[in-house]
Amino acid sequence: MRPGPIDLHAHSSVSDGTQTPAQLVAAAVEAGLSAIAITDHDSTAGWAPAFDAARGTGLTVVPGMELSTQLNGASVHVLAYLIDPAHPALLAATESIRAERLHRAEAMVTRIAVDYALDWDDVLAQTTPGATVGRPHIADALVARGHVADRSAAFDSILHWRGGYYRPHEAPKPIDGVRLVVEAGGVPVLAHPGARGPDHVFDDRRIAALVDAGLFGVEIGHRDNPPAAVTRWAEIARKYGLVSTGSSDYHGAGKPNQLAENTTSPEVYAAIVERANGSKPFLE
Ligand code: AMP
Ligand code: FE
Ligand code: FE
Ligand code: ZN
């Protein structure tokens, strides 16, 4: 591997990033990264085009996914590294989650349309065909209609979970998500654990259960983890022997997050690769 920062969390237009997988890889090369993980929500469709774009650049592409799970209405994201993308149970789960996300986005748009000029075609116009649909696509439709200035403004108002239009989507429980990732030969890491959802739903007993199920790490280095939560989750990582990762959660122009604003150590990266048996990092 070439020297440089390792960033294990980034999105493309296969989910809610604004760049195609090839553009994401080009941005990672440009930023001088050693390795980037492509972790679209509930889809591995970006892997092949990302590998193609990385060939000959010296950049390592780590195939991954950000699996949506839900506990008591709270959204919990599980990063799934180096899974077997053809594992039947995981494939079935992600297909079903994508369908639930679509259903939920339509329901949110129906609610929003009561108060704002907006219809489903506006959202489709902002979505790459086949992409995992999320609130960012609704945000882009609201921007295109002139209701808000940008994605962040949409998330702070109309799309906020307390904004009056929010609906959760169905998804497996976090523990079942972790089990599924392990079954598929992958390495599960709890994404942005200090974000509101996970930080509120995980007490000690539930964390111990996740670790028993095979949780391997926690994404401590992430801009959505407030300082108090970083302290809490660093202590949890120590207590349970979990690795700590750091990542940008880059979404192209869709979020302020910049590539490599948080990074993962080469030692932790090596431990993740060592642990996995579903697929391999791409470097050609
Ligand atoms: P959803 O999964 O559909 O509930 O939408 C949440 C997704 O929106 C997350 O994956 C975030 O990456 C993204 N997101 C959250 N806040 C913002 C923001 N302020 N600007 C852009 N995207 C955001
Ligand atoms: Fe996202
Ligand atoms: Fe996330
Ligand atoms: Zn993400």
Q: What does the pLDDT read at residue 146?
A: 98
Q: What does the pLDDT read at residue 262?
A: 98
**At 138, is the pLDDT very low, low, confident or very high (cuts 50, 70, 90)?**
very high
Q: What does the pLDDT read at residue 84?
A: 98
Q: Domains (ranges, CATH) in the chain?
A: 104-156 (1.10.150.650)
User: What single letter denotes the amino acid at residue 143?
Assistant: V
Q: Which ligand is nearest to the CA of 13?
A: 2
Structure tokens at 259: 């590539």
User: Please, which residues have CB less than 5 A from ligand 2, an ion?
Assistant: 16
Distance of CA 64 from the midpoint of ligand 4 (Å): 11
Interval 16-38: pLDDT, tens: 999 999 999 999 999 999 999 99
* Beta bridge mates, 189: 79, 217
* % of the chain exceeding 90 in pLDDT: 100
Q: Cβ(152) to ligand 1 under 6 A?
A: yes
**At 112, is the pLDDT very low, low, confident or very high (cuts 50, 70, 90)?**
very high
Residue 264 CB-half CA count within 13 A:
28
Q: Cβ(269) to ligand 1 under 6 A?
A: no
Number of C-beta neighbours around residue 156 at 10 A = 12
Distance of CA 56 from the midpoint of ligand 4 (Å): 27
Q: What does the pLDDT read at residue 237?
A: 98
**At 257, is the pLDDT very low, low, confident or very high (cuts 50, 70, 90)?**
very high
Residue 52: C-alpha distances to residues 26, 60, 128, 181, 220 (Å): 11, 12, 19, 25, 31
What does pTM read for this prediction? 0.98
**At 161, is the pLDDT very low, low, confident or very high (cuts 50, 70, 90)?**
very high
Q: What does the pLDDT read at residue 245?
A: 99
| C-alpha–C-alpha distance, residues 281 and 284, integer Å | 10
Interval 50-87: pLDDT, tens: 999 999 999 999 999 999 999 999 999 999 999 999 99
Where would I find the H helices in 214-250?
Answer: 227-240
Residue 274: C-alpha distances to residues 10, 116, 159, 211, 277 (Å): 21, 51, 40, 18, 8
Q: Identify the three-state secondary structure at position 217.
A: strand
Interval 201-222: pLDDT, tens: 999 999 999 999 999 999 999 9
Q: What rounded mean pLDDT belongs to the chain?
A: 98
Q: Cβ(17) to ligand 1 under 6 A?
A: no
Closest-lying ligand 1 atom to the alpha carbon of residue 15: 10
Distance of CA 266 from the midpoint of ligand 3 (Å): 22
